[in-house]
Structure 1
Amino acid sequence: MAGGGFMKLPGGSVVVALSLPTPPGGAAPAGGRVRVLVHAVNRARALTRLRNLGLRAVYLRGNSEPPTPDEITAVLHHPDGLVWRADPGDDTESWHPIATLFPRRRRAGAA
């Protein structure tokens, strides 16, 4: 089950933080967890952004692990508004764009 939470910003938008198992074949360490941050207009839109990336079973129940001020700053300063890093709490690891979390998909017909 994903732990996570959200923080409503003064402008009305939201930052959602989720701790998820590492996607199979992803760039993060296998068997571990990743912390994913999403900036969106509202919580539903944030979860939709993750589902559109292939994380279909992502739900936010409660607010047990809201984003920290440092996490909010990281996601607000990223152009896509979607970042991740390994979850164990290693503050020395930098945040990565969400595209690096998933394996590259081969295009049909590509050699």
Structure 2
Amino acid sequence: MTAGGFCKLPNGKVVVALNLPSPADPGPAPGVHGPVPATPADGPARVRVLVVAANRARALTRLRNLGLRSVYLRGNVQPPTPDEITAVLHHPDGLVWRTAPDDAAELWHPIRSLLRRTPAA
């Protein structure tokens, strides 16, 4: 289940923060049941995604249009921190991510680097 939250800004815009399974994480191999040895001890890879938009519905629509189809915001359990709000507001696309749980040494990345497909060799 995704955890996340939102924060309404004084100018009327909304910053939405979601913890999602990483689209780059392949998950378990087909036909494999039970724990996969290559999976980290914490479970599947997760990312924290931040998006700024006019309202919550438009923020979620922006993510769905990028291919993250099953994105929902239920509640306000983990709203964005002031540092996260600053990061997303200063990015030209208004859409950034980094691995979760947050590592203070890791910088925010543009969403296109997460969704980039590597060409098949």
Interval containing the TM-score (normalised by the shorter chain): 0.7 to 0.9
Contact 1:25/1:102, CA 8 A, preserved across alignment = no
**Residue deviations 1:52-107 (CA, integer Å, cap 9, x gap):** 0001100000000000000000000000000000012201100000000013276x
- Structure 1 match to 2:96: 83
- Structure 1 match to 2:47: 34
Indicate the structure (1 or 2) with the bigger Cα radius of gyration: 2
Give the residue type in structure 2 aligned to 1:104.
R
In 1, the alpha carbon distance for the partners of 2:105 and 2:24 equals 24
Alpha-carbon deviation of 1:24? Answer: 3.6
Q: State the identity as a percent.
A: 70
Gaps of 5+ in 1: 107-111
- Provide the alpha-carbon RMSD of the alignment: 2.0
* 4+ aligned runs moved over 3 Å, structure 1: none
In 1, the alpha carbon distance for the partners of 2:79 and 2:48 equals 11
TM-score (norm 1): 0.87
TM-score (norm 2): 0.80
Aligned length: 105
- Structure 2 match to 1:22: 22
In 2, the alpha carbon distance for the partners of 1:86 and 1:8 equals 24
